[in-house]
Structure 1
Amino acid sequence: MSNQWFNNYKTNKFTHLLNVFKNPIYSIHSSIVVLYTLNVLDLIFTYNGLKKQYLIESNPIMNRIYQYNPFLFVLCKLLGVLLCIYPINLLYKKKKWVANSVLGLNIIYVYIFILHIYILISI
């Protein structure tokens, strides 16, 4: 009996996961929340790292903005993703690639987050 329960659980869990990827609309709102959260975490780590001079900004445009005005840097990082959320909400029902792009951005931001953690541990 327990073996059958485990197989049903495993199958249902896997089926649920497949449904999320088959229907990106299902997960788009949570993906946007994750994207914005990871962006804010990246901002916090990057800003502190730049301020304490143990990090450099790899993006030349953002580096230039930070050198010009750190407050403008924070504003650009926060508003950049916020401004993208509106078109994402408009397009995700019509264009499947939009939801897939958000998923791709989340993967990139998770990598950046892990990189920040690694740098903090290494200091």
Structure 2
Amino acid sequence: MPDSIQQQLAAIYKKIDELPSSYVNLKTHEVQIRMHEQMIQENQKRIDNLESQLSVLRKEWGIDLKEANSRLETMKEKFDKQLDDIQSSSQILAERFIILSRTLYWLLGVLSSILIAVIIAYLTRFIH
């Protein structure tokens, strides 16, 4: 037999020898695929169960997530408006406090000047 035919036969025999391990690998992968499919089915059952529980809770509470989100947005807008009002009011109060403190400081200066003038007048009158 020519060498090329012997080489081809050797390659064929080698492939035949490899077939059982390939078959075992194929069966192993097949078992793994079935296990994954079973896990997917179990997870889908869990998802369906959770969705049904969620729908029951929604019915019991009488609220929808979209409705809750819109309520939260409305409350947030009201809170933001109140916060803006408080900030503007506090700014106005701060400005008024500054004006009042300046007025009181000026008034204190005027009163101290009057008091000094009265003391000087009293002392000059008492001395003479």
Shorter-chain-normalised TM-score: which range? under 0.3
Report the TM-score when normalising by structure 2.
0.24
Instruction: Identify which of structures 1 and 2 has the higher relative contact order when contacts are C-alpha pairs closer than 8 Å and 6+ apart.
Output: 1
More helix as a share of residues: 2
Report the TM-score when normalising by structure 1.
0.25
